[in-house]
Structures are given as structure tokens and as C-alpha cells.
Chains A and B, each alone.
Chain A
Amino acid sequence: MRLLSLLFFAFLVRFIHGETHTWYFETGWVDANPDGVFEKKMIGFNGSWPLPTLRVKKGDRINLYLINGFNDRNTTLHFHGMFQNGTGQMDGPEMVTQCPIPPGETYLYNFTVADQVGTFWYHSHTSGQYGDGMRGAFIIEDDDFPYDYDEEVVLTLSEHYHKNSDELTPAFLSRYNPTGAEPIPQNILFNETRNNTWKVEPNKTYLLRIVNVGRFVSQFLWMEDHEFEVVEIDGIYVEKNTTDMIYITTAQRYTALVRTKSDTSKNYAFMAAIDETMLDVIPGDLQLNGTNYIVYDDNNDKPEAVTVDSWEDILDDFYLKPLSNTTLFDEPDLTVTVDIAMDNLGNGVNYAFFNNITYTRPVVPTLLTALSAGEFATNELVYGTNTHSIVLQGGDVIDLVLNNHDPGTHPFHLHGHTFQVIERGPAFPDDEPTDWNATDHAEYPEYPMERDTVYVRPSSYAVLRFKADNPGVWFFHCHIEWHLDQGLALMFIEDPMGIQNNPEQQLTESHKNACNKAGVPLEGNAVANTNNYLDLKGENVQHKPLPTGFTARGIVALVFSCIAAFLGMAAIAFYGLADIPDVEARVTRDLNVEYEDDIADDEIITEDQPLRGSQESSRSNRSNRSGKVRI
């Protein structure tokens, strides 16, 4: 009996606490040819690419040892969508929640998946790396999945560049790219390859977990003669919503049921297309559409590409209702309004701004500042004036108003939370960006849509609402990696005292080791000052703005030039007025002319005289002259 109860107890314990997954992954460059037309190196784990799809169950614990196998760069890892409640230093973004992991070092990512279920993904949070391949799907299975299905399939989408970030990023963030035009990809990938085949069986229900693991373009997804029944977005179950076409931005996830036909006489196309409005330029050889195959029967022909007439029929995720029936959160305690804009600073480079601040990284990772700042941790100043840090009080409801002054679509992602999307405006013309009107706006939905990555339309606005119930330092940024490189990011310092008071949040040994080896201070304010947290002298700030008019240098140059012109004209006048004794000889010599005989006055022709004067006079005159004056 005791054994039974012991076994039962052990079973319960394991059931409650879940499994522990231990992985050792070493980063490194791997030869690959993802789009089939260009051999290049991608960033792989343990010598292989693509990265593995990690599967866990609700409540499991993750122990991921990330070994930096590079020899010339740092790395980090972010589990996109995980709340990391109490485990802020496992979130991943460099200089926000952790020191970067230098080459050769190992960092332990140790956290629980807690209550979250659904389709997620993991990727490097060091600039340029996930675009170069360091990304993979992360599935949290739910034994109580609300819908029935026969088989689960993971689909990752992304764009693909032939060049690596080492080449693309410096060329992008350069004064020779003053418009901030993002580099154009060469192809799109469907499960990290092209022209992929999905072998299906008839009369089955598949659970399709779709993740956009790209770094730039949003994609349209549609199947020939099949529908998507969307059941989950970004880890939030929603009421079933059937659609023909899905629009998915980078970092978003859609999980949909796909019911296959009973007829196996035909194979069908599974199309993916780039949202071409996001590309500055569309090169002639870029294929915007990718064709993949839903194959019922190998013996039948491969399907042809199918096109659509319009991009209007996409599922508008604003209208998805969470299955949890969560109602609109209460009135906000704090409303943060940010204007999104792109502009050039004094070095000629195009940067991205939230309210005229472009995110500039501090010397000490912000979470480490929050942990070490003591009573000053609630003072936004200690985090730096150029990191755009906003301190939130624990338990508050926060409204985040995004006014997009840029004529481009931006997918914004908040770490550590999902948020309710309570309003999203339509696209406005490029030259008339429209702000959200606090006094005159649409009624908020009763059961607003919830997710962790949402797009704002061009020149339009969106309002997000979330609860500050997760003490930590949470990055909020555009998930187009080019824009993150341009500084389109801000940070929420949520309940800093709550962070300090939680022993689990204290730095782990692996974290301290990484900081020391990377040469990053473990304590201090944004400029590593531990004596006076309010003294920010020497902090990293953004470049000065471009001079708008004449600087001192310009005025000096203009005055000098005017003086030079006046002196020049004076010299001309002086020379012009001066007498030269033998100018004729000089000029004729310099112009190298030969004169014919000397000319007397009467030889000068007027119009009614013949060409030569009287022979006599000319002869007589001539005899007294010198001969040819050859000069």
C-alpha cells in the first residue's frame, strides 16, 4: 500500500512538475544550400542545420546549455513568447537581460514553461544571427488540446539572403544607404527549403503549426482548394476562424487545422508569397511567390502554382476571440504613447525612433542595473537617457499607443507578455500619418484579441493593453531585424523591486561567468557607475542630429569664397588698368601669329574701297618699311 502511494505520489510530483529537458547546443557555421541555388554558410547547432524543433509539454523545465562555438562573435538565445516569470536572465536579448556569451563560453538557459502551450520558436538575440540561420521551432504540447486532430506538422517560413549579416548589416547601416532601404532577399523558404512537399493522407485533420522565423518580410499563405481553420495565435487559443489566406509577419505564429479531402486524384499547391509592399525595390529576378506541394498521391502530377486576385482576403487577426474569454482589462494606470519614425542622424545613417529616441545600448545590461541599483531601481534615470526605459509599477494596467509615422508595416513584439490588441487603425496615405485620437476612438472590443507580436499598418496606429504582472526587464521592439538594428526598441522595467526581492532572479554562475569573460560589468547604472547611480556621465548616446543650416564651418567657407571672388575681381581690374609697354609684341608672340606686311592707315579697308589701296601708295609706303616682321 505504501509502495503504491509512494508510486502514486511520485507520479503526481512528476506530473505536476513536468519533465526536465537538458540540451547541449554548440553554435557554429555549417555549409548549406537552403534555396537550392546558392551554397553558403548558415549558423547551425552541433554542426547541423536547420536547427532541431524542440518539443516540450506544459510545465516542463528547460536546461539548455548554449555553447558559443564561434571564435569571433558573441551569441545569445531567446525563447520567443516565453514569459520567463521569475527567470528574467533567461530571456535572451543582449545587454537587456544578459551579458553576451563570448566565444568558447557556455550559458545555461534554465526556466520552466509554466502554463504556456502552443507554437513558439527560439532564436538568437544577437544582431544578424537568426537571419543567418540560428532559429528553430519550439512546440509546447498540451495534453488537453481543445480540438481533435490526427497529425501535427510544423511549418517554418522565412526569407533568405545569399549574403550573410556580416556583409548586409554594415552596408545597411551606412551613410551610403541614407533612405534606410532594407536589403532585398533573394528567395523565401518553406521549412528551410523551397518547393517542399507535404505528403498528406485523405480524410485526415492535420494540425499545422506555422511560424514565421524570418527577419524581414511578412508572407501571405494560401492553399489551393483547402482552408485554414485557425485555432491558436502566438500561444493563445482562439475560437475557430476559417480563412483562405493567412497574413503572417515575422515572429508571429498561427496554428490551424487543415482537413484533407477524400479524393486522391489530384495534388494541390501550397503557396507562400512575399508582401511586396515591404520591399523598397523589387528586382526583376526575384520570385515573389513560392510554390510547394500538398501531395495526396505521388503518382499524380505535381501541382501548378495558383495565384490570387487580391491580397484583401486575409484573416484580420484583430477579430480573433480568445478561447479563454478574457475580457478587456480595466482602465489603464499608465498610458505610454510612442511615435514611430525613421530619420538620419549626424553620421548620415538612417535610424529608427520611438519619440525621437533611438535605442542605444548601455554599458551594463539593464536587468543587472535593476538588480544592483537598490532603491534607485525605480528611477528611470539609472537605466540611461538613451535606452528609452520606462519603469512600471507591479500590478498596473498599461496602455501602449503606437503611432506609426512611417509608411511601412511594422510587427512589434513585447517580451515577457502577451497583450490585448484593443485598437488598430487602417492604413493611411504615406504623407498623412494619422495618430490615435484619445478622445475620439472606436469602442474597444469586449473580448480583445491577444498575442505577443502584432503589426501596425502604414501611417496608422494601434493600441495595446497588458498587465504588469511579471517583474522583469522586458524589451519591446520591431521584429524586423533591420529596424531593431536601427534602434526601434524600448524597455519596460517592470516592478524593479519585485525583481530584486526574488532570489531566483539573482545572477546565476553561468551568467556571471559570461559577463566576466565578456568584460561586461555586473553592476552599476547604464554607464557602470556603482557609486552614484544618478551620475550618467559618459553614457552611450545616439549621434547628434544633422546640422540644419549653416554651421561655423559653413559660414567661414562662404565668407572666404566671397573674399576670394572679390580679390580675384580686384586683381582683374588692376591688371586690366595697368599699362604694358610692349603688349603687342607679347600677344603676337604668345599667340604665335605671323603678320603679313605692315599695314598703313590707308590700307585699312572701309566698305566702299577695294581690297588693296592704290598700288602706288602701297609701294611707296612699303619701301620705307621693314620687311616681314617675323615674330
Chain B
Amino acid sequence: MVNVFNVQIFFIVFREALEAIVVVSVLLAFLKQGLGGATQDPLVYKKLRKQVWWGAVSGVILCLILGAAFIGTFYSLRNDIWSKSEDIWEGTFCIIATILISLMGIAMLRINKMKEKWRIKLARALTKPPANKADRFKIGYLTKKYCMFILPFITCLREGLEAVVFVGGVGLSSPATAFPIPVICGLIAGVAVGCLLYYSGTTTSLQIFLIISTCILYLISAGLFSRGIWYFEMHVYNNQTGGDAAENGSGPGTYDISKSVWHVNCCNPEIDNGWDVFNALLGWQNSATYGSVISYNIYWLAIIVVLFLMHFEEKNGHLPFLKNLTLVQLNPMYHIKGKKKNNLTKAEQDELFANLKNTKIGGDEIDNSESIESSKEVKEVIPVESEKKKGSL
């Protein structure tokens, strides 16, 4: 059985594929739901959807190249540069991924609440190049325009790299015939889960779907944060013991007792089949450290606090206890760039009011509904703006 199907390879591929596919399918479902339905803007939708796929594919290609490079240096130069710094690589990837997913998740939750038209507007605005050609290369612009590209790219790159290097290393002891089937099976299993997620996402209510998928994303992200910290601590311990402690299995001596919160000699995500999936989805470690446990809890605490602050500000217009402060003002970029843009001058405000008055008078149904919306929007805009003006003064 082992000669045609190496169980370890299956689980490695399945686990890596799962994380990447969850992120990609949630994005795709979000796009479909957000820009799908009766009022489609297929061009923008297609553009963004293409971005996601391009991100995923180029991530996979790049990871194959990098993985091949690692394996090549390992075999030819006998220099296992991957395993010497493996924990740093893994840890850094995890932290980057968790930051990206966290930001994306919050953005998605808020975008969810926008009316459809505004989502479309947003989508178009994100994909439209700025008038000034020089602005095309501004980082702010690029990250916004290609945000649908960046997240799948980084995720697929990270997961794929881990998979390629693991399989390349694991495969040393297995005959070549044991490769293809488990790899294919692992990919199929991962894709199946992704399809399930996508179709369930596109058929249920957007709100419910988004909430559920955001929960999943954040569970993964919390797990990633905890894992990142765990990898860094593992790296420190490996340096102190002068070797790769994890290679000695799960018994005593594979972990630092002074930092251990719990340790069981089984269920090790690095070597026990199946537990690595648990680790990928929820951040399970058989040997948890203070760092990994505390970071997990701090992550959730941070999410809860941020959500609470956002909700409070949205309901009341300012942060709790600080009447003049809003969340966006806590962002340093706001003070550098955004201030000017967000404040209408008196003249512009007058112009806005004048236009509003005009739109209220007459017009067809479309105009009315539009105007009601836009007036509502303008009404809300102005008080906020004036408040902000107060604040900025």
C-alpha cells in the first residue's frame, strides 16, 4: 500500500491545499455574491475574478520555482538551507499571512454591508487607473487595485512552498511510484472542500455566508498567528540545543520545558498524520508554549476589541470616551495623506448643497430613488465631515 500511496504526502498536500483553497474560494464567492446577481458589472467582476485566479496561479508557479531551487541546493550542494532557517521562514510566512487575512476579513465584513451599487462603484473605483500616470505606481494605488491578487498570491505561495519542500524532503524515503496518487488525491480533496465552500457561499444569503466565511478565515488566521509565534520559539530552542529538536519526535527533549504550557506525546502536527490538518485550521500544537497560547488569545482579543471599536464608532460617530477621535484618525497615513482629501472646503460644501437641492426637485423614478439615496448619503456625509472638521480644528 505504501508503495503507491504515501499517506504522509497525501496529508501534507491536503493540508497545504486546504488553507490556500479556503482563502481563494471565499474570495471568489464574495466576488460572485457581491458583484453577482441582477445588477452585474461583469467587466469589473471579471477583472477582479481574474485577479484572484492570477494571484493563485502565479503564487503556485513561484512556489514551484522556489521549491525547486531549495531542493536543488539541498541535493547538489548538500546545503540544507531550508531546514536551517525553516522555522524562521515558516514563522514569517505565518505572520504575513495572518496580517493579510485579518485586514482582508475586516474589509470584507464592512463591504458586505454596503448597498450593491456602492459595492460596484467601489469595485470600479478600485480597478480604474488614476488620471495622473505617475500615480499609477503609488503603492497605495497598487495595493488597492490588486488587492484581489495579493492575498491569493501570498497564500498560495506560502502554502505551496511548504508543500513542495516537504514533499521533496519526505520523498527521499519513498519510491517514486508513491508520489503521484497521494499528491493528486490531496489536491482533489482540497479542491472539493473549496468547491463546497464556494457553492454554499454563492447560494446562501450574502450576510450569513460572509459571517461564516469570515469566522473560518479568522479561525485560520488566529491559528496562523499562534503558529508563527510557535515557530519563532522553536527556532530559538533549536539554536540553543544546536539541532532540530522536532526531528526527535514528540518525546522529552523535543521542546523547551520552561516554556511549555502543555505537551502530549501524540498528535504532533509535524509527524502524525491528520493532526496537521487540525493545526492548519485551528493552530493546534501538541506542544504548546506560553507564546503560542497567549498569542492566540491576544489575537482574538484584538479582533474583538477592533470590531467593538468599529461598531461603536459606526453607531456613535466617535470612539468611546473620546468624542473627537475616530478610528481612521488612528491611522498615521490619514494624517500624512488623507486629511486634505476628506475635508470639503466651504465652497465645495455649498456646491454640494446646491446640487442636492436640485436633485430633490423632480426627476424620474430612477432619479428619485437615486436622489433619495444620494441625498441620504450626502446628508450623512456632511455631518460627519463637519464633525471631522471640528475634530481637525
**Interface residues in chain A, defined as those with a beta carbon under 8 Å from any beta carbon in chain B:** 175-179, 343-344, 346-348, 350, 546-551, 553-555, 557-558, 560-561, 564-565, 567-569, 571-596, 598-602, 604-607, 621, 624-627, 630-631
Contacts and interface: CB of A to CB of B under 8 A. Distances in A.
B393 interface: no
B314 A593 contact: no
B258 A592 contact: no
Contact of B314 (A564, A572, A580, A591): A580
A629 B349 CA distance: 11
B283 to A, nearest CB: 9
Given A599-B120, A624-B363, A591 B144 contact: yes
Contacts of B282: 565
A575 B311 contact: yes
A627 B347 CA distance: 13
Given A348-B253, A627-B355, A569 B219 contact: yes
A551 B122 contact: no
Contacts of B374: 598, 625-626
A546 B215 contact: no
Nearest to B210: A576
Interface stretch (B90-98, B156-164, B192-200, B296-304): B296-304
B381 interface: yes
Contact of B257 (A175, A569, A593, A607): A175
Interface stretch (B53-61, B62-70, B335-343): B335-343
A79 to B, nearest CB: 38
15 contacts: A348-B256, A550-B262, A564-B296, A564-B301, A565-B219, A571-B304, A572-B215, A573-B215, A582-B380, A593-B126, A604-B39, A624-B371, A625-B370, A630-B344, A631-B381
Contacts of A176: 237, 240-242
Contact of A583 (B114, B144, B245, B256): B114
A626 B338 contact: no
Interface string B87-130: 00000000000000000000101111111011011101110101
Nearest to A550: B262
Contacts of B366: 600-602, 621
Given A584-B115, A598-B370, A625-B374, 9 more contacts: A557-B288, A569-B219, A572-B109, A582-B381, A583-B314, A604-B39, A605-B42, A624-B359, A625-B359
B258 to A, nearest CB: 7
Please give me the 8 A-B residue pairs with the lowest Cβ-Cβ distance, nearest first. Answer: A554-B262, A178-B253, A344-B252, A626-B355, A348-B257, A568-B300, A576-B211, A582-B380
A585 B210 contact: no
B265 to A, nearest CB: 7
B144 A593 contact: yes
A618 to B, nearest CB: 12
A323 B310 CA distance: 94
Contacts of B371: 624
B207 A561 contact: no
Nearest to B109: A576
Interface of B: 39-43, 107, 109-115, 117-118, 120-122, 124-126, 128, 130, 140, 144, 207, 210-211, 214-215, 218-219, 222, 237, 240-242, 245, 248, 252-254, 256-258, 261-265, 282, 288, 293, 296-297, 300-301, 303-304, 307-308, 310-311, 314-315, 328, 337-338, 341-342, 344, 348, 351-352, 355-356, 358-359, 363, 366-367, 370-371, 374, 377-378, 380-381, 384
Contacts of A602: 366
Contacts of A572: 109, 211, 214-215, 218, 303, 307
Nearest to A575: B307
Contacts, number: 215
A580 B342 CA distance: 20
A598 B140 CA distance: 23
Contacts of B240: 176
Nearest to B42: A607
A326 B390 CA distance: 108
A606 to B, nearest CB: 7
A626 B352 contact: yes
A606 B257 CA distance: 63
Given A568-B222, A624-B359, A346 B253 contact: no
Nearest to B145: A593
A388 B267 CA distance: 36
A561 B125 contact: no
A557 B262 CA distance: 8
A576 B30 CA distance: 14
A548 B262 contact: no
Contact of B125 (A344, A546, A585, A595): A595
Contact of A587 (B120, B122, B242): B122
A586 B140 contact: no
Contact of B310 (A551, A575, A593): A575
Contacts of A347: 257
B112 A576 contact: yes
A583 to B, nearest CB: 4
B300 A564 contact: yes
Contacts of B118: 584, 587-588
A77 to B, nearest CB: 35
A269 B214 CA distance: 77
